[in-house]
Homo-oligomer: A and B are copies of this chain.
Amino acid sequence: MAIHELQVGIDATYQQALKSFHEGGVPIGACIMQAGQVVAVGHNHRIQCGSNIRHGETDCIEKCGHTVDFSQVTLFSSLTPCLMCTGAIILYSIPRVVILDNINIHDYETNLDMLRERNVEVKILNHEPSIELNRQFQRSPETRTLWLGDVGE
């Protein structure tokens, strides 16, 4: 993936995380790119819709409907995928995942192993704005319980 395409994906993903944050939600965004174009964006809907299954990644996958060939896409997420989202990535044979923050989550390394074992290419970035947004949301007393609920704790 060319640098400018990577930047388009990073920007779209982070904007979705910010959007969710400004809605009062868990600030995790995602996007799906195909042939250099963003074909879907999504974010966590735990707070906004009371959803348990619309994480950033699954929200994106949902929005693709049945017209996108998942074998040709790259999925971006502003945080390392949980096991449900990891399962969805493998279910639909998505070949590449770009993660903007792998720091603010502690026990999802096995999910990355699972992706790699299934030949998913995993690229981990250190996107400072995403890292800082997740860090703030985790640490703030007002939002810490929302974060914990989202990761099943």
Query: Which residues from chain A sit less than 8 Å from chain B, CB to CB?
Result: 50-54, 58, 61-62, 64-66, 82-88, 90-93, 149, 151-152
- A83: chain B residues at CB < 8 Å are 86-88, 90-91
Which of B50, B53, B90, B151 is the one whose CB lies under 8 Å from A53?
B53
- A90: chain B residues at CB < 8 Å are 83
A45 shortest CB reach to chain B, Å: 10
Measured CB to CB, the nearest residue on chain B to A59 is B53
Which of B61, B93, B152 is the one whose CB lies under 8 Å from A91?
B152
Which of B50, B65, B151 is the one whose CB lies under 8 Å from A50?
B65
Q: Which among A66, A84, A92 has the highest number of chain B CB atoms within 10 Å? A: A84
Query: Within the assembled complex, what's the spacing in Å between the Cα atoms of A62 and B45?
Result: 11
Measured CB to CB, the nearest residue on chain B to A61 is B52
**26 cross-chain CB contacts under 8 A:** A50-B65, A50-B66, A51-B62, A52-B61, A52-B62, A52-B66, A52-B88, A52-B92, A53-B53, A53-B61, A53-B88, A54-B62, A58-B84, A66-B149, A82-B87, A82-B91, A83-B86, A83-B87, A83-B91, A84-B87, A84-B88, A84-B91, A91-B151, A91-B152, A92-B152, A93-B152
